[in-house]
Structure 1
Amino acid sequence: MEQKELKRDLKNRHVQLIAIGGTIGTGLFLGSGASISKAGPSILLVYLIVGTAVFFVMRSLGELLLSNSGYQSFTDFATDYIGPWAGYVTGWTYWFCWIMTAMADVIAVGVYVRYWFDIPQWIPSLIAIILLLLLNLLTVKLFGELEFWFALIKVITILALIAIGLFMLVIGFETDNGVVSLSNIWNYGGWFPNGLTGFLFAFQMVVFAFVGVELVGVAAAETSNPEKNIPSAINKIPLRILLFYVGAIFVILCITPWTELSAANSPFVQVFSLAGIPVASGIINFVVLTSAASAGNSGLFSTSRMMYNLSKNKQGPKILSTLNKNFVPGNALIVSSIVLSIGAFLSYIIPETAFSVVTTISAICFIWVWSIILISHILYMKKHPDLHQKSKFKAPFAPFINYVILAFFATVLIIMLISEETRTAVIFTPIWFILLFITYALFKNH
């Protein structure tokens, strides 16, 4: 009987918007308030540093994926260049990353819906999981369409924010907190108002803000023209970082002194309120709702594909490697959804601490995944210098830049260990990796 394969039904516009959707999420809309309160105006530098590091990771990922048409995700080349254990640990860690991230997003959907309807939080969360599961079970093309529109809403919102902010800046608009001015950036304690400590402690949430940018790599297995679409999507990442992150935060800091922004609230809500839009809070609530749904949608997509690839490579239960009549991994989608609903329930029980812990664990695990991509690229260059020379999409400054970014990631982990807010998650996350090495040994023996 002929083995079904994943369909390459994602078009260029799908991949481009999936890449955008991966770089705009809960970390920016909700987490930016906490980041600004820690770093002040120097948060702009934090976004630039992390964004630059992530771009070089993506260039390494792009070259590796295009070096072998058989590669469907980074677990494939991690297995080839580092070893089967690396493919196993990285694959399941990536699944865990997205499950943890999607937990926070699904809980957020419940919170946002309660803005309009006074119903128990778990109901809209559960409805969101069921709807996303049903949509993902149909076709990959439908996933692409869904993510296209989700991402479009986010893009329009941020572009509207930047346009309104620049208009207010040009006319010298006066808000309750003073005149909109460039001087608002440095007038309240300078660029580093909380010193080096505040600047460094902002890195955790900013790293979390970038999680998912590598989703374009997971989607590579299902693009109709990866040689054209993958480089195009990756090369546009720097522009997106400058526009969507640095541009949006820059405008926010011009409109409102950073000292007026609450760490607990989205700065986007406050800025639209200052712009004089009466229904601003409702508009932003709708946007963050679609943003959370989008992130949950991406999470379900990526976790199911990772499960499918792992089981196909005999690193997971065989039942997860079957495709349904629509050529999507149905069993893997159902298992991910069940785990996601259990996690959402647990997050609902401990809402005060769940989000902080979940986002930190997610950031740590994504640092592992990004590091494996960089290490694989270093080994690829050593073992196949001929392939690197022939590559039409060479990673710039490699392998030197790979070592620099690996050192940077190690520094971020040390910062997380020092920070009281993130220390607990850093201490407990290694338990996940210990469990993976134990289960890998069992699978290897079988």
Structure 2
Amino acid sequence: MSRTTAPAQADRADGTAAPAEGLSHGLKQRHLSMIALGGVIGAGLFVGSGAGIAAAGPSIVVAYAISGVLVMLVMRMLGEMSAANPASGSFSVHAERAFGPWAGFTAGWAFWFLLCVAVGLEGIGAANIMTGWFPGTPEWAWVALFMLVFCGTNLAAVKNFGEFEFWFAALKVGAIVLFLALGALAIAGWLPDTDPVGLANLTGQGGFLPNGWSGVVSGVLAVVFAFGGLEVVTIAAAESEDPARNVARAVRSAVWRILLFYVGSMLVIVTLLPWTSMMPGESPYVAVLDAIGVPGAGQIMNVVVFVALLSALNANLYGSSRMVFSLAERGEAPKGLLKVSAGGVPRRAVLASVAFGFVSVLLNLKWPDSVFLYMLNAVGAVLLFVWALIAVSQLRLRPRIEREAPETLTLRMWGFPWLTWTALAAMGAVLVLMLTDDGARPQVLWSAGATAAVLLVAWLRELRAARGTRSSATKRN
């Protein structure tokens, strides 16, 4: 049995949208905290960090610190706006309130496309691991199984999604904490058959900056988008018991812990092993565990990466469904997607997101080096656009909220507006660096093209709406 959501509530005094009607409030604070922590601990860290170490050497620690601080500032801005105005559309709603429907439409659809492609990617990655464990089994069958399982999870009550993410994230966080503990013991020489390591690997093989600051720059480009995923917690907060308080607490607690996990992991890796031994595509975590004598390190990390991929698939499917639901609620997506179950789940929005994610998988199987590659490039830099829109929205909304509803500012951006402008400048620098990098340039160009296409649709919609308004006014006169 399903029902249609009631119209959105009237806007608040501060000009922000009231929370959506119809969605449930089954997520608890513990769910949000673990969603925030686990959302960015994925295959990009466990495997992709090898490319960053190969580019920057020991200074990858600096690259992760720079990237982490940037994302910490972005999340503080987003947390400020989301605590003042919890909404299932998160930054899309904030952008719409700041700049108009075109901004909300563009941000929402671009992010939905990004998440749906990510769902397909994570399904493919998890299927690759399964075919390694079960040789001869078809990859598409595993992807179909994962899609069905997590589609079912997301079609059920939202608390099921929260429980899955809680335990998935708990395993990933536990793995990181155990890795840091073992690494610290190995560095100190307190593990069996180990001696104190010292600083030889940090200062040898070319020193701490073996490739100079250009290596740090390359490292930043290699790792900055690994922090993507935190945004989902502000989407999920709208379905928690106390959205404003819970999102503020989740953002406060998560960002510094994630920075600790990322920077701490990299420091352990480059202290224990020579950076020259790292190879792109190979997990530096496995290399460290092998070096300190952990039996079956490769298979252990395969399990952790497998869980990380399924966790990301689950979270991105959830985030994409709520984003397209929010767009439908604001009249920027088909109204049929507003149907929610008796338990408050937007089932049509879930099915639409699953269907698009599976289409991306089929495109990968059919045209991996053409159509699917273009799709990947088209979403490669979308996250940078989203972060920039978060920053400029916060610049515009903060004075309005301070003037009209200051009591809703339970979480405030540090050093406003100077740190917001600093973050924007850092994003501009990343964009310029990507344009000068042969590997990253296609992502910027294709993502810019995809975003421009969505902007064109948004402009045409607003033009049509304006013409309709003028026509109605003429008829009345």
Normalised to the residue count of structure 1, the TM-score between the two structures is 0.93
Aligned to 2:472: none
Residue type matched to 1:218 in 2?
Answer: I
Q: Is 1:420 aligned to residue 438 of structure 2? A: yes
For the residues of structure 1 that align with 2:439 and 2:192, how far apart are their CA atoms?
36
- The AA in structure 2 aligned to 1:413 is L
Give 1:183 shift. 2.6
CA distance in structure 2 between the partners assigned to 1:306 and 1:413 by the alignment: 25
The 3 A distance-change label for structure 1 pair 121 and 15 is same
How far off is 1:196 after superposition? 2.6
Q: 1:67 and 2:88 equivalent?
A: no
1:91-119 Cα shifts (integer Å, max 9, x gaps): 01111221232222111011111221011
Contact 1:169-1:181 at 8 Å conserved across structures = yes
Q: 156-165 or 298-307, which moves further after superposition?
A: 156-165
Matches within 5 A, 1:168-247: 168-171=186-189, 180-247=197-264
Change in Cα spacing, 1:155 to 1:408, as seen in structure 2 (3 Å) is same
Q: Aligned partners of 1:193, 1:418: CA distance in 2, in Å?
A: 21
Return closer, same or farther for 1:399/1:353 CA change in 2, 3 Å cut-off: farther
Counterpart position of 1:287: 304
Counting only pairs closer than 5 Å after superposition, residues 251-330 of structure 1 correspond to structure 2 as 251-330=268-347
SS in 2 for 1:50: helix
The residue number in structure 2 matching 1:104 is: 121
Aligned partners of 2:193, 2:385: CA distance in 1, in Å? 44
Maintained 8 Å contact 2:72/2:256:
no
Deviation of 1:85 after TM superposition, in Å, equals 0.3
Counterparts of 1:418 and 1:72, CA distance in 2: 33
Correspondences of 1:16-415 after superposition (within 5 Å): 16-68=33-85, 73-118=90-135, 119-171=137-189, 180-349=197-366, 361-387=378-404, 389-390=406-407, 391-415=409-433
The percentage of counterpart residues that share the same residue type is 33
8 Å Cα contact 2:129/2:302 also seen in 1: yes
**C-alpha distance in structure 2 between counterparts of 1:328 and 1:29, whole Å:** 33
Instruction: Give SS of 2:458's match.
Output: helix
Q: CA deviation at 1:285?
A: 0.5
Q: CA deviation at 1:305?
A: 0.3
Q: Secondary structure at the match of 2:341?
A: coil
Partner deviation per Cα, 1:240-291 (whole Å, 9 max, x = no partner): 1333101111111122111111112111111122222222111111110010
1:432 to 1:357, Cα distance in 2 relative to 1, 3 A = closer
C-alpha contact (below 8 Å) 1:180/1:256 kept by paired residues: no
Deviations, residues 304-338 of structure 1 (Å, cap 9, x unaligned): 00000001100011111211233111111111111
SS at structure 1 position matched to 2:381: helix
Residues 300 and 81 of structure 1: CA distance in aligned 2, closer, same or farther (over 3 Å): same
Comparing 43-52 and 179-188, the one that deviates more = 179-188
Q: For the residues of structure 1 that align with 2:130 and 2:347, how far apart are their CA atoms?
A: 28
User: Counterpart of 1:205 in structure 2: which amino acid?
Assistant: A
Q: Is the 8 A contact 1:55 1:237 kept in 2?
A: no
Q: Which runs of 5+ in 2 are unaligned?
A: 7-20, 466-477
Does the aligned pair in 2 maintain the 1:75–1:88 contact within 8 Å?
A: yes
Give the Cα–Cα distance (whole angstroms) in 1 for the partners of residues 376 and 223 of structure 2: 10
Partners of 1:353 and 1:264 in 2: CA distance: 21
User: 2 CA distance for matches of 1:9 and 1:236?
Assistant: 21
Q: CA deviation at 1:413?
A: 1.1
Larger radius of gyration: 2
RMSD of Structure 2 on Structure 1 (CA): 2.4
- Quote how far apart the aligned CAs of 1:347 are: 2.7
Q: Give unpaired runs (5+ residues) of structure 1.
A: none
Partner Cα separation in structure 2 for residue 351 and residue 318 of structure 1: 33
Q: How many angstroms does 1:355 deviate by?
A: 9.4
Q: Residues 361, 432 of structure 1: CA spacing in aligned structure 2 closer, same or farther, 3 A cutoff?
A: closer
Residue type of the partner of 1:122? W
Question: Is the CA contact 1:71–1:77 (under 8 Å) kept in the aligned structure 2?
Answer: no
Count how many residue pairs are aligned between Structure 1 and Structure 2.
445
What one-letter code is carried by the residue in structure 1 that aligns with 2:272? I
